Amino acid sequence: MSHALRAFFAYAVLTVAMTWPFATHLRIMDPGDSAYFAWAIGWEVHAIKTDPASLPHGNIFHPARYTIFMDEPILGTTLTVLPFALFTDDAVLLFNLARLLTFVLSGLGAYLLARELGAGALAAFVAGAAFAFSPIRTDQISHLSTLGSQWLPYVALFTIRFARGGRAVDALLAGLSFALAAWACGYHGIFGLLVLPLFALPLVWGRWSWLPRAIPAVLVAGALLLPLRSLHAVAFEAEGFSRPLDHAVFHSASIESFFATSSWNNVWGELTAANRTMGSNNLFPGLLVPLAVLAAAGLLLRRRERPSREALAFLAMLVAGVIVCLGPEVRLYGETLFHGPYHFVRETIPMFQGVRVNSRAGIFLALAFSGLLALALKRLAPSPRVLGLLLAGLLLEASVAPIPIPRWMQVIDSSQPVPAWVQWLAEQPGEFPIAHMPLLPTDGLFRRPHHEETVYMVWSTWHFKRLVNGNAGVEPATYRHVREVCKRFPAAPCLDALKELGTRYVLVHEKGWGPNQLARVQREWPAAADRLPLVQDFGRGDRVHELR
C-alpha cells in the first residue's frame, strides 16, 4: 500500500474521531446552514442526473431563477460525493458524507503538498493533519462551503512544481485546482485572487521567462470561473443586491480574533472566550504549529541560512491572509485603529464590494501554517516519537469532540419513513409551485426549528416541487414581499400574493405557529375557507389546501 493511500485511511480514522459523533449521525439533519447545503447537494445531484440545464435554477424562491447562485453553489464539493450519488439520492446522507470527506481530502492534499516540500512520510502526515483539523477549519463545522478546502493544497503544490521546473502542465493543474477550489467555496476563490499571486511571487522571482508558459493555465482557469462569476452576477444584480460596508466590517476579523477558537474547542474554547467576536470567524491556529515553525526559523538564524523560496511563499500567504481577514478596518476589541489595506481593494474593485465575511480568508492561514510546518519538520528532523507527540498535541488543540447535537436540532432523520405530506407530494406528477405555512421570519431557526425554511428545502429533495419558500444569502423581492404579507396568513393579501406567484397548493403545518398565532389563524380561517378548500388532511396538524 502506498504512503498516500495509508495517509488517506489514517485521515479517515482521525476524521471520525475528531468530528464524533457525526459518523454515527449520517442520516440526521439540523436546520440552518447544514440544511441549506444538504438541499444544495440534493438539487445539484438531481439536476445532474435528470436535466443538467436546470442546475442553476434550484426549486426555491419560485418563480425566481438562478437561485443556486444566490448563495454558495458548492459544486466543487458536490463532485466529491457524486460516486455515492450513484447509489442514493438521500441529500442528508450525501451532505454528511461530503462534510466528513472535506477533512479527509484536505488532509490528503496537504500531505501531498508536504511531500512535495521534502518532508518525510510521517512529518507530511502531521502537516496534513495540521491543515485538515486546524481550529480554523473546525470553527466552520456546519458551513460546508468554508469546509470545502480540499482543492487548495493542490493549488500550492502545482504552483511550486511549476516554479521549480517551468512545466506548462503544472501551471495548468494549478489553474484547474484553483477553479475547483472556487467552485467549492466562492470566498476561497475571490480571496485567492489576492493571496495566491503574493504566494507565487517568491517562487517565480528571477524566473520570469517561464511565466508565458502559465498563460494557458490562466485562460483555462478564467474560462472555468467565468460561469461562476456571471451566474452570481445575474442572481445578485436581478435583485439589486450589494453588501454595505458596515456588513463587511462586522464580519471581518478583529485583532483579537486571531487568538480565539470555537467555544466547542476542548483546550482553548474557554480560555479564549474573551477574544471571540460576534461577526468574525475564530482564527487561532493553536500554539504547537506556530512554535514548531518559530523553532525552525530560530535554527535558520543561528546557522545564518536563508529561508527557501517555499518558506518565503508560505510566509507571504500568511501575511496576505491576515490582511484580508482584517478587512476594511483594523479593529481591536471593537475600536477601529485605522483603515486596512483591504479597504483600498474594496473601494477600487467592484467585485469585492459583494464580499461579506472577510474572516473566511482564514483558510489561507491554516494552509500557510501547514506548509511552513512541513518545511520546519524537514529542517528540524525530529524523531518519530517527537512527531507522534506533536501530532497528538495539535489534535488535542483542535479537538471539539464530542460535538453537541441536541435533540431540538435533529429535525430530519432520513433513515425513517418520510412524513405523509412529503410522500403525497412525491406521488403527484409535475413540478407545480407550493407554499408552506407558516412562512417564518429570519429567526425561525430559533422559534420553530422543525419548520424553518431550510427544513422545507431539505424535504423538497424527496419531491422537487417548486417552493415559494427558500433561504439563501440573497432573498428575491417577491419572497420578501410574500414573507411580509403572510405574517397574517390566511388573510386575503397573503393569498393574493401567493396566487400571483402561481401557487397551486398551500401546505399548512399548525405546529409551526405558537399557541397565540395558531388561535388567530383558526379564528380567521372561516373567511378564507372558500379560497383554500381541503385536499388532504394527514393528521398532527399537517394539511394540503388548494389555492383558488
| pLDDT tens-digit readout, 206-241 | 999 999 999 999 999 999 999 988 888 888 776 666
SS3 content of the chain, % helix, strand, coil (to 5): 65, 5, 30
Question: Helix or strand or coil: residue 545?
Answer: strand
- Note the pLDDT of residue 432: 94
Amino acid at position 478, single letter: T
- Note the pLDDT of residue 229: 87
In angstroms, how far is CA 11 from the centroid of its own chain? 20
- Note the pLDDT of residue 1: 62
Domain check: are 152 and 272 in the same one? yes
Residue 60 forms part of a structural domain? no
- Note the pLDDT of residue 443: 67
Domain check: are 454 and 327 in the same one? no
End-of-domain residue from the set 373, 398, 423: 398
- Whole-number CA gyration radius for the chain: 25
Residue 35 forms part of a structural domain? no
Quick one: which of 321, 305, 395 has its CA closest to 363?
321
Residue 66 forms part of a structural domain? no
Domain check: are 388 and 525 in the same one? no
Residue 48 forms part of a structural domain? no
Question: Helix or strand or coil: residue 373?
Answer: helix
pLDDT in tens, 365-403: 999 999 999 999 999 999 999 999 999 999 999 999 999
Domain check: are 348 and 433 in the same one? no
Start-to-end Cα distance in the chain: 65
Amino acid at position 439, single letter: L
End-of-domain residue from the set 350, 367, 398: 398
- Note the pLDDT of residue 445: 61
Q: Are 326 and 340 in contact (CB under 8 A)?
A: yes
Domain check: are 224 and 256 in the same one? yes
d(CA 205, CA 224): 27
Residue 58 forms part of a structural domain? no
The total number of structural domains in the chain stands at 2
Print the domain residue range for 506: 415-546
Domain check: are 381 and 420 in the same one? no
- Note the pLDDT of residue 446: 67
- Note the pLDDT of residue 37: 97
Residue 296 forms part of a structural domain? yes
Domain check: are 374 and 454 in the same one? no
Confidence (pTM): 0.95
Secondary structure of 428-461 as H, E, C letters: CCCCCEEEEECCCCCCHHHHCHHHCHHHHHHHHH
DSSP β-bridge partners for residue 28: 413
Domain check: are 390 and 453 in the same one? no
Quick one: which of 290, 293, 291, 274 has its CA closest to 282?
274
Residue 408 forms part of a structural domain? no
- Note the pLDDT of residue 236: 78
Domain check: are 97 and 137 in the same one? yes
- Note the pLDDT of residue 278: 85
Question: Helix or strand or coil: residue 544?
Answer: strand
DSSP 309-351: HHHHHHHHHHHHHHHHHHTTEEEETTEEEEE-HHHHHHHH-GG
Residue 526 forms part of a structural domain? yes
Domain check: are 359 and 220 in the same one? yes
End-of-domain residue from the set 369, 398, 427: 398
- Note the pLDDT of residue 47: 97
DSSP 166-181: --HHHHHHHHHHHHHH
- Note the pLDDT of residue 20: 96
d(CA 272, CA 435): 44
Phi and psi torsions of 467, nearest 5°: -100, 130
Domain check: are 378 and 427 in the same one? no
Which segments of the chain have a pLDDT < 50? none
Domain check: are 392 and 432 in the same one? no
